[in-house]
Structure 1
Amino acid sequence: MTEQELIDITKDFVKKELKNAEGGHDWFHTERVYKNALLISKQENVNVLVVQLAALLHDIADSKFHNGDETVGPRKARAFLFQNNVDSAVIEHVIKIIENMSFKNSLEDAERFSSEELKVVQDADRLDAIGAIGIARCFNYGGFKNREMYNPDIEPNLDLTKEDYKKSTAPTINHFYEKLLLLKDQMNTKTARRIASDRHNYMEGFLKQFYAEWEGKK
């Protein structure tokens, strides 16, 4: 099997697995992350096959939709790659990326796996969490969980632990301060930092407009 054939098979697998997924974590999210990862990879010295596979499989079973179980996604990804006779070193690298790339894991004071490939895929995923797409995804998930859009009486928690983050039921606007507005400064690569700057500014503009409308000023 050629690398391109493997990528095509992986895309088909992910599309089927995510057929009925929540709109912010569906195949189209994965496809955007994949495209972002390819763009960033052009400027980085990385194993592009590892980047592609990790980007495609990173949300194959998001723990948010599996009762917080963080082992489901890596387990599904490993089984798929093994069934398709992918080199064991590639499998292990892809799994480590999936296990270590999420924002919530960055809230832990623990030494974590890192690689140039992980940095690329992590940036690609985080770019999809900000800007216009990020805003849309944020409110889509908030609606999915039936959360308030905004409640002036509930302040954002700026000192979240991983467990706090996983258990949060805060209004959607709080998520901007607890995560989305923090991502610009957490990008690993020059390409991602450049893109993130524009998307970050867009979110700040949105929030100014949101509050103005909320208060009846515009």
Structure 2
Amino acid sequence: MTALLTAADFHPHEALAAQLLAHATEGDDGSHDLAHIHRVFKNAMKIQAGEGGDAEILAAAVLLHDCVAVEKSSPLRSQASRLAAEKASCILAGFGWSEEKIAAVAHAILTHSFSANIPPETLEAKMLQDADRLDAIGMVGVARCFYIAGRMGSGLYHPADPGAEYRPLDDRSYAIDHFPAKLLKLSEGFQTVTGARLAKERHERLTLFLTLFRDEI
């Protein structure tokens, strides 16, 4: 059996991860599990290496950005990042973090969410948003899209009009509608130069997948 991720997998922030991993996720959503946290962490470290900023604040924000689980189909979805920011603040206060650093982490978590639609104002918040959105595009983004569609009971595509040429997009009913409704738009809104460069590569993979998928159906 493959070992689960541990704090050692979050180099160079192993000590921080050892404190926060137990709080990082809740629920059983495989698209927002510890593997997702780890991928976002690796994305964030790549971006931070190019952009600078406070690595500890960024790492803490990554580790706790999904500490509250809200299903995509829930009416509370737009509140998920606010709830996570509030919970993260309490967790960090318990570890003796200063109010200033807690506020910086909370802001990053609050603004990372696409659903919340709150602009990030700090570099760390911009890097978290970019790192998280990288995990929504490319091949991992494709896999997560269909995984979430399965959880919601959605179909793969509208059989009569898969490209939504004569109907409104409906990504709650059809997984493939989520591409034009959201995923194909994400690369336009990246906040950092490094994040935008990485997003361009993944966006190209996303569009290639959609082209091949439509060809097969």
TM-score norm. by structure 1 comes to: 0.82
TM-fit CA distance, 1:4: 5.0
Deviation of 1:75 after TM superposition, in Å, equals 2.4
Superposed, 1:118-157 pairs within 5 Å as: 118-151=125-158, 152-153=160-161, 155=164
Q: Which residue of 2 aligns with 1:47?
A: 54
SS of aligned partner of 2:31: helix
Matched, 1:7 2:17: yes
Query: Higher relative contact order by CA 8 Å / sep ≥ 6: 1 or 2?
Result: 1
Equivalent pair of 1:74/1:99 in contact (CA under 8 Å): yes
Contact kept in structure 1, 2:149 and 2:172, CA below 8 Å: no
Question: Of the candidates 64, 70, 79, which is equivalent to residue 90 of structure 2?
Answer: 79
* Cα drift, residue 5 of structure 1: 2.5
Structure 1 unaligned spans of 5+: 159-164
Kindly provide the amino acid, as one letter, of the partner of residue 91 in structure 2: F
Contact 1:63 1:72 in 2 (8 A): no
Q: Structure 2: which amino acid aligns with 1:192?
A: G
1:95 aligns to 2:97 (yes or no)? no
Counterpart selection for 1:206 from 196, 200, 209: 209
Q: Quick one: which of 142, 152, 172 aligns to 2:175? A: 172
Structure 2 counterpart of 1:171, one-letter code: Y
User: How far apart, in 1, do the equivalents of 2:14 and 2:214 lie?
Assistant: 47
Deviations for 1:157-187, whole angstroms, at most 9, x for unmatched residues?
A: 57xxxxxx9xx62311111111111111111
How many Å apart are 1:67 and its aligned residue? 5.0
DSSP 3-state at the match of 1:150: coil
Name 1:104's counterpart in structure 2: 115
1:87 CA drift (Å): 1.4
Question: Which residue is 1:162 aligned to?
Answer: none
The answer to whether the Cα contact below 8 Å between 2:40 and 2:132 also exists between their aligned partners in 1 is yes
In 2, Cα distance between the equivalents of 1:50 and 1:182?
28
Q: Between 63-72 and 134-143, report the one with greater CA deviation.
A: 63-72
Give the number of aligned pairs: 197
1:95 Cα offset (Å) = 0.9
3-state SS of paired residue (2:143): helix
How has the CA–CA distance of structure 1 residues 47 and 157 changed in structure 2, closer, same or farther, with 3 Å as cutoff? farther
Tell me by how many angstroms 1:213 deviates: 0.9
Q: Could you say which residue in structure 2 is the equivalent of 1:161? A: none
Once residues 74 and 63 of structure 1 are traced to their aligned partners in structure 2, the CA distance between those partners, rounded to angstroms, is 13
CA 1:198–1:112: 2 relative to 1, 3 Å: closer
C-alpha contact 1:157 1:178 (8 A) present in aligned 2: no
Q: Offset at 1:8?
A: 2.1
